[in-house]
Amino acid sequence: MRRIITLSTFTVCALVGVFALRAQAPGGVTLYEGARLIIGDGKAPIENAAFAVQDGKFVAVGKKGSVKVPTSAAHVDLTGKTVMPAMVDLHGHIGYQNIPAGTMSKETFTRDNLVDHLQRLAYYGIGAVVDVASLVDRSDMKGGRTNWGDVPVRVRDEVIPGAALFKTAGVGMAVPNGGPTGHPSRADVPYPVSTPEEARAAVDDYVRIKPSFIKIWVDDRSGTKPKLSPALMKAITDEAHRLNVPVAAHNVKLTDAKELVRDGVEGWLHVPVRGGDVVDDELIKLVKDRVSKKDRPNMWMTPALAEPWMTFNGSATVAAGKRPAWLDDPILRDTYSDAAIKQFWGDPLAKMTPEEAKKAKTLFDGLAQNALKLRAAGIKIVMGTDTGQSRFFIGYSTHMDLEGLVAFGLTPSEAIVAATSEAARIAQFNTGLVAKGRSADFIVLDANPLESISNTRKINKVFLRGAEVDRAAMRAKWKSQFK
């Protein structure tokens, strides 16, 4: 079960050490000057900015010339660059995929592979992730245990140089055969519950690992699968809230969204209403009532737009006789082979019929309309991409998700806030803002993403906890695996 697929533990540990360049000496101060600085709070950027970093945290931020540092401080000139906070992804499915082989399995879920995925996220400027449906030991609901180990819990407690920080939402919960679809390696991971008594017992077992939230699937997959009933949803949320653990749902239908809002669910992984259903006045009132009554008012959703945006935008571009530019993006080819890009996106887009392309646009437009209505009612939009499955390129999908948010109707600044400070607040990471006391996690860009959100992909450098990530070493390792 725990066979090692790519690198030995010794090799990974050695590479982790290499992948964090120029970590600051304890007590040393570095002053970065001259960049356009996007704080991550939605305010106008600071032109010709300065910020100081000490012991892995921001200690001062302001205009160039206004930030006082010791005479011994190191100085870094970032003139002509744009700096923004590293991003946070609340909806990952990492660890299962063997990227060089293009396969997924439970056997792949090792510490080595999980660390590799966290390094890939770091390469693209993602400083933290919450993983969902992680492979971690749980009750088998028959008096025994799955014996899947504790890799996600152990990695959560580590700070790995050159890698994104990691939290886990555990395995999730669903009715038997009603959980994740896609690759079968993940299908049986959630707790299978059929009665309220089983649901409460599963929650009691679930919370022992201190998950970021309890994930539930409420989706009949267009009538082909069973799904959690209202009674089971309520049993789960009541028990979780009794134990002070939030709940986040994957659902589709409007009727289920209403039940989940009434039950006090805090989060939604995907837009809460989709699949042709439309947000109505009753749901909007339910959301607004929770906010006004301060009844678990901090609601959020991760629209997970990378896949629908890449499908809609890509098919429209192909239909216009052009090749989607992102298929040839050099940064994507740093981490994925030509063969993988062709297999998972190039060929499928080229083969889409006009009817399929029209359906993709209708789907995307429906997601946008529903999400913006719920956002106006009080549900925050935050970054969460579904990254880690075969078509969801780890790290790169986050940038595609940003493009999708802007295509939705958010401004580039609003999309960046959703991906940085808002996502960090929900996930409880001390990152997402260039501000005193925050972890010094930031991206140095060669172009301004406030002018075009695609400029977040023009990465010059990435810093995590004040140390530059050695992207060149990472790139060399991954490209060598393409052979």
Residue 20's pLDDT is 38
Dig out the tokens for 273 from the structure. Answer: 């209403």
Residue 390's pLDDT is 87
First CA to last CA across the chain, in angstroms? 26
> Among 17-21, 189-193, 277-281, 461-465, where is mean pLDDT lowest?
17-21
Domain boundaries along the sequence of the chain: 9-85+435-482, 88-308+354-427
Residue 182's pLDDT is 83
pLDDT band at 169 (very low <50, low <70, confident <90, very high): very high
pLDDT greater than 80 at residue 216: yes
Instruction: Say if CB 274 and CB 354 are below 8 A apart.
Output: no
Give the E-state strand segments of 120-193 in sequence order.
126-131, 165-168, 173-174, 191-192
pLDDT above 90 as % of the chain: 92
> What is 9-47 written as a DSSP string?
HHHHHHHHHHTEESPPPTT-EEEEESSEE--SSSSPPBT
> Among 4-13, 30-39, 193-202, 343-352, where is mean pLDDT lowest?
4-13
Q: What is the pLDDT of residues 446-461, one digit of tens each?
A: 999 999 999 999 999 9
pLDDT band at 183 (very low <50, low <70, confident <90, very high): confident
pLDDT band at 21 (very low <50, low <70, confident <90, very high): very low
DSSP state, residue 432: S
Residue 4's pLDDT is 37
pLDDT above 70 as % of the chain: 94
Residue 7's pLDDT is 39
Residue 389's pLDDT is 86
Q: What is the pLDDT of residues 408-434, one digit of tens each?
A: 999 999 999 999 999 999 999 999 999
pLDDT greater than 70 at residue 26: no
pLDDT greater than 90 at residue 465: yes
Residue 16's pLDDT is 41
Q: Which CATH number fits domain 9-85+435-482: 2.30.40.10, 3.30.70.1060, 2.60.120.10, 2.60.320.10?
A: 2.30.40.10
Whole-angstrom distance, CA of residue 37 vs CA of residue 48: 8
What is the DSSP pairing of strand 459-464 with strand 442-445? Answer: antiparallel
pTM given for the model: 0.93
pLDDT greater than 90 at residue 387: yes
Dig out the tokens for 371 from the structure. Answer: 């999400």
Q: Mean pLDDT in the chain?
A: 94
Residue 25's pLDDT is 47
- Do 88-308+354-427 and 9-85+435-482 fall under one CATH topology? no
Instruction: Say if CB 179 and CB 189 are below 8 A apart.
Output: yes
Residue 27's pLDDT is 65
Whole-angstrom distance, CA of residue 93 vs CA of residue 129: 10
CATH number at 88-308+354-427:
3.20.20.140
Q: Give the mean model confidence (pLDDT) for residues 80-86.
A: 98
